[in-house]
Amino acid sequence: MMDFLEQPPRFLFFTGKGGVGKTSLACATAVRLADSGRRVLLVSTDPASNVGQVFDTQIGNRLVTIDAVPGLTALEIDPEAAAGAYRERIVGPVRGVLPEDVVRGIEEQLSGACTTEIAAFDEFTGLLTDDALIAGFDHIVFDTAPTGHTIRLLQLPGAWSGFLESNDNGASCLGPLAGLEKQRQQYRAAVAALADPLRTRLVLVARAQASTLREVARTHDELAAIGLQRQYLVINGVLPAAEAAGDALAAAIVAREARALAALPGAVAALPRTQVPLKPFNLVGLPALRALLDDNAGALSTTPAAPANAPGALPALATLVDELATAGHGLVMLMGKGGVGKTTLAAAVAVELARRGLPVHLTTSDPAAHLTETLEGSLQQLTVSRIDPHAETERYRAEVLTTKGKDLDAHGRALLEEDLRSPCTEEIAVFQAFSRIIREAGRKFVVMDTAPTGHTLLLLDATGAYHREMARHMDKSGITHYTTPMMQLQDPAQTRVLIVTLAETTPVLEAARLQDDLRRAGIEPWAWVINNSLAAASPTSPLLMRRAAAEWAQIDAVRNLHAQRLALVPLQAEEPVGIARLQALAAGQRHS
């Protein structure tokens, strides 16, 4: 039973950790509704949207009719274009009015990922509140719902006016939010629509994996706390138990998924739930989308041909660790989409370096990471830490109120306190902790498991803003020799960035976009790691064999188009938890 499709309201939002299948489910839902005679608008707010690829249609930032599905129209909101228009709307009227250095300061505050997120929200709130714009549609289906981060921003109650002409504390949400003042009525209406179960259904998408289920539980709690109480749960890609017969790998996956689902937290377990079985085919094209929800997969059973070059042509993770170890120290950062296994791979790299007698500090900036649970043990040369966003934020707030706030009057202090309650404050505080830790990389290895891509980009924004501010101060002072965290990240002799992905379309697209963002920041990724590969695991289950063969298109895309160095890590029969299994993962043999 597809509970989330029963008596659907006008607005449906699909949200969840990266790589869980939000786009596929949103597209399949839109097709199902259109096939039933409804007029449907499908909207993607994902920067790495592949909705156009799914329908084999060029879409972009405009309404496009999907000819093959009568009644279906699609729109891909371009966050970068939205951010550009948003910046110009704010900055344009003050050019030539305010001093040039003030205008540059405003542009600087509006250059980060926070502005991009807010601008994208600005775009699609019109789809929630502009009756004239959506009058022709019975349903609006959103791929990637608004984040709790953005909604919390919009609920901050203060009256912001004018522009923040200086900001010595780091990046702030109030710069981007200054442009929202005239539209606060629209935003209040949008948030109200999101919280109204008669108008909006929020669908949480997860996989039957402990990490994604923990993430969906956090998302549930955060959104419920801001009024989005009525939620549905979809567990996507569950391996059918029948596939376990005669295949040890498939049997281990079936057992692992059953354990994860049995351990669902109570609040999430109580939600209306739908389980969608794993399909043997890529979810591209209308037949695949219709089969996703109808389970009509018979016509899609053709197995893709595996290429002549087997996985043995690709190095294992051990090859990258060998090369990393030669430097003796440095910063190793694992980046990528949520759900690709960064925490496990960071732990495996750190364990293997420590096993070789090298001093290693393993840390994470991901609030959802559980490094100690992954390690389940200790090594003599290995220290482990976690950048606790809550603790770092409280420390940062206290510091700012003690310094910047000590001479303010009551009104000024109240505005400063409100600024410090915004979610971006957490990003600044995490950046400061990050800066402290990476200084250790001059004498030991620092292996960092970063937060999912969007949060990582916010961290890089803060790093870049700090670098530019420091450079201006140093230039004015005549100081020519200095090092900022950004300079360390840009130095390939000090920092190695490993981009982690899966051999699937959406994770590879997002990883490629992350690589482009890093290059624009002057950071050249050192290597790519394709994790949890079925092609490298040699399954015998018919369904898994077909999925393994389908991976090769993405493996070849990474190898030929994106990566300077590449490692292929097979899907493990047992979860790589504990020192021994992490060592085995890092030293994994090549598969032929």
Task: Write out the DSSP string of 231-297.
Answer: EEEEEEEEPPGGGGTT-HHHHHHHHHHHHHHHT--HHHHTS-EEEEEPPSS---SHHHHHHHHH---
pLDDT at 564: 92
**Which residue is catalytic, options 17, 18, 44, 46?**
46
Task: Please say if the pLDDT value at position 319 is more than 80.
Answer: yes
**Which residue is catalytic, options 18, 21, 179, 464?**
21
pLDDT at 134: 82
**Which residue is catalytic, options 22, 279, 337, 444?**
22
pLDDT at 97: 83
pLDDT at 57: 78
- Residue 19 falls in the annotated catalytic set: yes
Supply the mean pLDDT for the chain: 80
Q: How far is CA 19 from CA 205, 341, 438, in A?
A: 10, 11, 29
pLDDT at 362: 94
Q: Which structural domains are found in the chain, ordered by start?
A: 3-296 (3.40.50.300), 311-388+438-586 (3.40.50.300)
- Residue 21 falls in the annotated catalytic set: yes
pTM of the predicted structure, to 2 decimals: 0.77
pLDDT at 456: 52
- For the ranges 153-162, 202-211, 377-386, 490-499, which has the lowest average pLDDT? 153-162
- For the ranges 19-28, 106-115, 229-238, which has the lowest average pLDDT? 106-115
**Which residue is catalytic, options 506, 517, 533, 541?**
506
Residue indicated by tokens 């390939």: 492
CB 214 within 8 A of CB 207: no
Instruction: Average the pLDDT over 81-102 and give the result.
Output: 80
Task: Please say if the pLDDT value at position 229 is more than 90.
Answer: no
Cα distance between residue 460 and residue 365, in whole Å? 12
- Residue 168 falls in the annotated catalytic set: no
Beta-bridge mates of residue 276 = 236
- For the ranges 280-294, 312-326, 487-501, which has the lowest average pLDDT? 280-294
Q: What are phi and psi of 579, to 5 degrees?
A: -55, -45
- Residue 506 falls in the annotated catalytic set: yes
Rounded to the nearest angstrom, the gap between the alpha carbon of residue 591 and the centroid of all alpha carbons in its chain is 30
Q: At 109, which helix (H) or strand (E)?
A: helix 100-109
pLDDT at 468: 58
Using DSSP, how many helices (H) and how many strands (E) does the chain show?
Answer: 25, 15
Q: What are phi and psi of 43, to 5 degrees?
A: -120, 130
Q: At 409, which helix (H) or strand (E)?
A: none
pLDDT at 184: 65
CB 498 within 8 A of CB 526: yes
Q: Are strands 527-533 and 566-570 parallel, antiparallel or unpaired?
A: parallel
Q: How far is CA 348 from CA 353, 578, 582, in A?
A: 9, 10, 5
pLDDT at 568: 94
Q: At 503, which helix (H) or strand (E)?
A: none
pLDDT at 299: 46
- Residue 24 falls in the annotated catalytic set: yes
- For the ranges 64-78, 288-302, 422-436, 440-454, which has the lowest average pLDDT? 288-302
Q: Are strands 273-277 and 445-449 parallel, antiparallel or unpaired?
A: unpaired
Q: What are phi and psi of 504, to 5 degrees?
A: -135, 155
Cα distance between residue 268 and residue 316, in whole Å? 37
pLDDT at 427: 67
pLDDT at 490: 84
Instruction: Average the pLDDT over 245-256 and give the result.
Output: 94
Q: Count Cβ atoms below 10 Å from residue 170 Cβ, excluding itself.
A: 19
Cα distance between residue 32 and residue 291, in whole Å? 10
Cα distance between residue 432 and residue 485, in whole Å? 10
Task: Give 100's pLDDT tier (boundaries 50, 70, 90).
Answer: confident
pLDDT at 168: 40
Task: Give 177's pLDDT tier (boundaries 50, 70, 90).
Answer: low
Cα distance between residue 547 and residue 277, in whole Å? 13
* Helix pair angle (389-403, 410-421), 10° resolution: 160
- Residue 179 falls in the annotated catalytic set: no
Task: Give 106's pLDDT tier (boundaries 50, 70, 90).
Answer: confident
CA-only gyration radius of the chain, Å: 24
- For the ranges 51-55, 493-497, 588-592, which has the lowest average pLDDT? 588-592
Task: Please say if the pLDDT value at position 453 is more than 50.
Answer: no
Percent of the chain with pLDDT over 70: 79
Cα distance between residue 269 and residue 261, in whole Å? 9
**Which residue is catalytic, options 15, 16, 17, 19?**
19
Task: Please say if the pLDDT value at position 28 is more than 50.
Answer: yes
Task: Give 590's pLDDT tier (boundaries 50, 70, 90).
Answer: very low
Please, which residues have CB within 8 angstroms of residue 303's CB and are 6 or more apart in sequence? 545, 546, 549
* DSSP string across 499-551: EEE-SSHHHHHHHHHHHHHHHHTT----EEEEEEESTTT---SHHHHHHHHHT
Beta-bridge mates of residue 527 = 498
Instruction: Average the pLDDT over 246-264 and give the result.
Output: 94
Task: Give 285's pLDDT tier (boundaries 50, 70, 90).
Answer: confident
Q: Which of 256-265, 279-288, 419-428, 452-461 has the highest mean predicted lDDT (pLDDT)?
A: 256-265
Is the model more confident about 308 or about 258? 258
Q: How far is CA 52 from CA 61, 151, 281, 341, in A?
A: 11, 27, 18, 27
pLDDT at 390: 81
pLDDT at 331: 94
Please, which residues have CB within 8 angstroms of residue 475's CB and are 6 or more apart in sequence? none
pLDDT at 545: 94
pLDDT at 318: 92
CB 419 within 8 A of CB 172: yes
CB 54 within 8 A of CB 284: yes
Task: Please say if the pLDDT value at position 32 is more than 90.
Answer: yes
Instruction: Average the pLDDT over 8-33 and give the result.
Output: 88
CB 193 within 8 A of CB 199: yes
**Which residue is catalytic, options 23, 115, 425, 456?**
23
**Which residue is catalytic, options 15, 17, 24, 533?**
24
Residues 164-173 have pLDDT tens digits of 333 344 445 5
- Residue 422 falls in the annotated catalytic set: no
